[in-house]
Amino acid sequence: MAHVKGTYAIILHLGKNTVITVGKLGDIPFTAGYYLYIGSALNSLFPRIERHVRGSNRLHWHVDYLRQEAGVIEVWYLVSDERLECTWYRIAIQMPTAPVPVSGFGSSGCRCQSHLLYFPSVPSIEDFRLMVGDAGKNLVRCEYSD
């Protein structure tokens, strides 16, 4: 299972407004609410998801900085050899109340504005599944306690 490829979305909950230093992006004000972070792992999907859920003192990805303050409440993932994170971002940005809170967050390796979106309430996997289309029926949802 270590070499499974896929794309994932992590739903994080931030309980209070806070400023977080995010690597080279600097000090970023984050509003209390829910954040959807989209990523892909083309070598080790489940260890990557586990690392993000568990959190890490080694701050490598932008989401690691946010993860220090925000709890994971859900993970959506799709096992696939195809890198879908940019496609998922273009779909998720169309969801209601999904502004981009930080330009460049998680998207330094592509042309997307960001791979992080803000929601005042928990985003719906059902809405996302419908927007993804046929592949959406294969999305897996895992819940966690914040």
Residue 46 has pLDDT above 90, yes or no: yes
Across 22-31, 77-86, 96-105, 116-125, least confident range: 96-105
Residue 53 has pLDDT above 90, yes or no: yes
pLDDT of 84-121, one tens digit each?
999 999 999 999 876 788 999 999 889 999 999 999 99
Chain segment 112-121, per-residue pLDDT in tens = 999 999 999 9
Beta strands in the chain (DSSP E): 6-14, 18-22, 26-30, 33-41, 71-79, 116-119, 140-143
CA torsion sign for 17, 124, 100, 50 is positive
* CA-to-CA dists, residue 19 to 40, 53, 103, 124, angstroms: 26, 21, 15, 26
d(CA 129, CA 142): 14
Predicted pLDDT of residue 63 = 96
pTM of the predicted protein model: 0.93
Structure tokens given for 5 = 């490829």
Using the Cα atoms of residue 23, residue 28, residue 33 and residue 38 in order, give the sign of their dihedral: negative
Q: How far apart are CA 4 and CA 51, in angstroms?
A: 15
Domain residues of the chain, as ranges? 6-143
